[in-house]
Structure 1
Amino acid sequence: MSSESIHPRSTDLVVLSLERWDEVWRRNQHLVSGLLRRDPGLRVLFVEPAVDPLHDLSRRRRPQLPGGLRAGPPVPGVEPGRLWLYEPAKWFPRRLHRRVDRHLAAGTVRAVRRLGFGSPLLWVNDPDGAAVLEATGWPALYDVTDDWLLADRDAAETSRRARAEALLLARARVVVVCSPALARAKGSRREVALVPNAVDVTDYRRPRTRPDDLPEGPCALYVGTAHRDRLDVELCALTAEAIGPRAHLVIVGPVALEPEDVHRLQRAGAVLLGPRPAPEIPAYLQHADVLLVPHVVTPFTDSLDPIKLYEYRAVGRPVVSTPVAGFRDAGDPQVAVAERSDFVAAVLERTAPGWGRASDLPEAEVPSWSDRVEVMAHVLERVAGAAGDQRSGGTQPRSST
């Protein structure tokens, strides 16, 4: 957006993200980097999830200390000093300290003051960010990418998330959702804008050399975070065992599984490569014989718009997916949707000798992140201009009673 396309005071943006800004790029990073390139006057504070040292200790992990406020990493086409990161810490469990979220919100406000942001727009992706909206009244966008009320969480966490979301749906000037299921769920309570995910199509179709760490021979590849909210660990193990004599099941992405799940997959023959930088992902996809989506089918996964849907389709490789949202309605002849009971057989078929890698099918039309950036730029214009652009007092938090 040009500096004239949004009110001059709206060139500062605070993004409360569900994920860190790291080398594994997700929706927020694609959109924010695109907006920074589009508007040379925009500055962004990207607030990462709080680290939890006590929780790390309770799980016998080395505690992670907060990164605090720091300059963001280089982004192609964006001048230094326009992207900032802030990583806070949650020092006490919420059950022991009721004001945890208020303290985290106050930390964000202090970071905004240090940067000299005037009256920023607020982009809330993490529902816990409701505390920042409540404390400041900054003009807000609520970007819903996951329906956490449907996730398998304890009653206390679900109740807390429900209260936060109720506040966001009531007070955010614009609500954006990434999937039709979320549009139906959240749109029953207020108007929402549907902005699905996408992919950098040109980049994903540029030919790459085979990655050195991709096992030799046929590979069935899954790219994404390995987490039980999405990944069917048992189905992955069954698939790895079945194709093991002639192919490898490879998982590329952050591993957020319990140690026993990791050991189960490794015993079955799965190769867990861990996360890889975003620019390297197209090479893994291009050199896979078949791409996998062994996801659980739950109300939570039905709320998603998987980014891998667009990434997989961009490279034109065969896909086998359980009947999850996005893939089951793709209408792409390269995508085979198989019930859980038929999944292994479908993968076996596509890793059989002579099945072939070549395809005579035309390249699918796949939405690009540049298109989504344009839409989000106009959404931010609506956030800035809604209700006569009446602002609270910039970085001054509201008093709470």
Structure 2
Amino acid sequence: MSAPLVVFGEDWGAHPSSTQHLVSRLAADRSVLWVNSIGLRRPRLDARDLARLLAKARAIAGRAPSRPASMPEPEGPRPARILSPLAIPWPGSRLAEAVNRRLIGRQVRRVMAEMGMERPILWASLPSAVSVVGALGERAVVYYCGDDFGALTGVDHAPVLELEARLAACADLIVAASAPLAERFAGRNVLLLPHGVDYDLFATPCARPADLPEGPVAGFYGSVSDWLDIGMLVRAARALPDWRFVFIGPVQTDVSPLAGLPNVRFLGPRPHTALPGYVQHWDVALIPFRDTPQIRACNPLKLREYLASGTPVAATRFPALTPYEGLIHAIDPGGDLTPAIRGAAQDRDGIARKAAVAAEGWDARAARLSAALDAL
């Protein structure tokens, strides 16, 4: 069996992240201990953070899962063990980091001993994991960089970037999900590993969901956050009153100008396995991003999932879109989305869209990554 992994990531099952897609496949022939998130910002005394702290406390006590009830386990093998550690979420505090090194290190080593795990590879998808580097008897350190933490919403940027710089300096391998992220670590041992796709899940025909409205549908799934161009969407929805604009996912920004329109529907989160049924029955799938540093560095999973479904796509341009731009009705950020939606609705070449990502499955991505891990 290949070297075991101790993975510091987000809460297992909270959302279908690239780390979880990869690790669920690596777990087929490696012993994996998954350590749930130890936080990238100081908690605030608001309702959302208090609810999250309560959920964390229940997970630590072993009385409840840390993922939302609407989210199922990710597909594929799960880690052998999942640990919700007791930790201090206070990036930038050297005192908190010193305490976490002892506190988290002791908890992780105890579970490692129970699993019979020795000399693992320490995998960090969050810079806050730098606090335990060297405390686990690890044989190597891998930093999986899937986001621009200097621009990511909900992060204490300055202290987290300092943690990231320290983590990158001691990493034996940096895995970057996009070219802009890889460029930040020039001169180091970097593996550019774009996101994959669960091709069979999204390409296999599914029944139309009962709650999907009739008529032409332009749809989006994912976090409805401040990286979406709400003004652009409002203008498109007003210009296309016969269309239905459908959004699936948690709403994390002000959507009142959009929600007030009669042809707009917010359906809330859906399990990842249910998403193909929606996107396959939309007339056009949307990626209406603003132009931000975070978006310029991102490599959204939905891009390849949309293509695997065969559904036409209308999107704003960003670097990760470039290899597929010939298959997508793309406009510059801030432009008029209406003509792109109309053009995409006439595009029937679903076979070409599917073929473009048929060889980009998560299994292939994980195999390439596994070879890089074995070479450490």
TM range (shorter): 0.7 to 0.9
Task: Check conservation: 1:239, 1:249, Cα contact below 8 A.
Answer: no
Deviations, residues 109-143 of structure 1 (Å, cap 9, x unaligned)? 23323322333221111111111215446321001
Mapping for residues 1-400 of structure 1, pairs under 5 Å:
3=1, 6=2, 10-11=3-4, 13-17=5-9, 19-22=10-13, 24-37=15-28, 39=29, 41-50=30-39, 55-57=44-46, 62=51, 64-65=53-54, 66=56, 67-68=59-60, 78=77, 82-88=79-85, 98-115=94-111, 116=113, 117-133=117-133, 135-136=135-136, 138=138, 139-151=140-152, 157-187=156-186, 189-228=187-226, 230-243=227-240, 245-257=241-253, 261-269=254-262, 270-333=264-327, 335-350=328-343, 355-356=345-346, 358-359=348-349, 361-362=351-352, 363-366=354-357, 367-383=360-376
The 1:286/1:173 distance shift into structure 2, 3 A limit, reads: same
Could you say which residue in structure 1 is the equivalent of 2:68? none
- For residue 87 of structure 1, report the CA deviation from its aligned partner: 2.9
- For residue 163 of structure 1, report the CA deviation from its aligned partner: 1.8
The 1:62/1:120 distance shift into structure 2, 3 A limit, reads: same
In the alignment, the residues of structure 1 paired with residue 89 and residue 161 of structure 2 have an alpha-carbon distance, to the nearest angstrom, of 21
Amino acid at match of 2:224: A
Task: Check conservation: 1:48, 1:85, Cα contact below 8 A.
Answer: no
SS of the residue 2:246 aligns to: strand
In the alignment, the residues of structure 2 paired with residue 137 and residue 159 of structure 1 have an alpha-carbon distance, to the nearest angstrom, of 29
Normalising by structure 2, report the TM-score: 0.84
Report the RMSD for the aligned CA atoms in angstroms: 3.0
Task: Check conservation: 1:56, 1:63, Cα contact below 8 A.
Answer: no
Task: Check conservation: 2:40, 2:128, Cα contact below 8 A.
Answer: no
Normalising by structure 1, report the TM-score: 0.79
In the alignment, the residues of structure 1 paired with residue 52 and residue 27 of structure 2 have an alpha-carbon distance, to the nearest angstrom, of 33
Task: Check conservation: 1:231, 1:295, Cα contact below 8 A.
Answer: yes
- For residue 75 of structure 1, report the CA deviation from its aligned partner: 6.3
Amino acid at match of 1:128: S
In the alignment, the residues of structure 2 paired with residue 298 and residue 174 of structure 1 have an alpha-carbon distance, to the nearest angstrom, of 27
Task: Check conservation: 1:197, 1:307, Cα contact below 8 A.
Answer: yes
The 1:358/1:342 distance shift into structure 2, 3 A limit, reads: same
The 1:132/1:232 distance shift into structure 2, 3 A limit, reads: farther
More relative contact order, 1 or 2 (CA 8 Å, 6+ apart)? 1
- For residue 35 of structure 1, report the CA deviation from its aligned partner: 0.9
Task: Check conservation: 1:179, 1:194, Cα contact below 8 A.
Answer: yes
- For residue 180 of structure 1, report the CA deviation from its aligned partner: 1.2
The 1:130/1:348 distance shift into structure 2, 3 A limit, reads: same
SS of the residue 2:160 aligns to: helix
Task: Check conservation: 1:238, 1:268, Cα contact below 8 A.
Answer: no
SS of the residue 1:379 aligns to: helix
Higher deviation after alignment, 69-78 or 83-92? 69-78
SS of the residue 2:289 aligns to: coil
Task: Check conservation: 1:220, 1:289, Cα contact below 8 A.
Answer: yes
Amino acid at match of 1:145: G
Task: Check conservation: 1:204, 1:311, Cα contact below 8 A.
Answer: yes
Task: Check conservation: 2:39, 2:128, Cα contact below 8 A.
Answer: no
Deviations, residues 268-316 of structure 1 (Å, cap 9, x unaligned)? 3432222211111111110110011111112221111111111111111
The 1:360/1:317 distance shift into structure 2, 3 A limit, reads: closer
- For residue 361 of structure 1, report the CA deviation from its aligned partner: 4.9
Residue correspondences, number: 357
Task: Check conservation: 1:201, 1:314, Cα contact below 8 A.
Answer: yes
In the alignment, the residues of structure 1 paired with residue 44 and residue 334 of structure 2 have an alpha-carbon distance, to the nearest angstrom, of 37
Give % identity.
28
In the alignment, the residues of structure 1 paired with residue 371 and residue 89 of structure 2 have an alpha-carbon distance, to the nearest angstrom, of 39
Deviations, residues 240-274 of structure 1 (Å, cap 9, x unaligned)? 3332x2111111123222xxx13333113432222
Task: Check conservation: 1:147, 1:303, Cα contact below 8 A.
Answer: yes
Gaps of 5+ in 2: 66-71
In the alignment, the residues of structure 1 paired with residue 86 and residue 75 of structure 2 have an alpha-carbon distance, to the nearest angstrom, of 29
In the alignment, the residues of structure 1 paired with residue 239 and residue 38 of structure 2 have an alpha-carbon distance, to the nearest angstrom, of 38
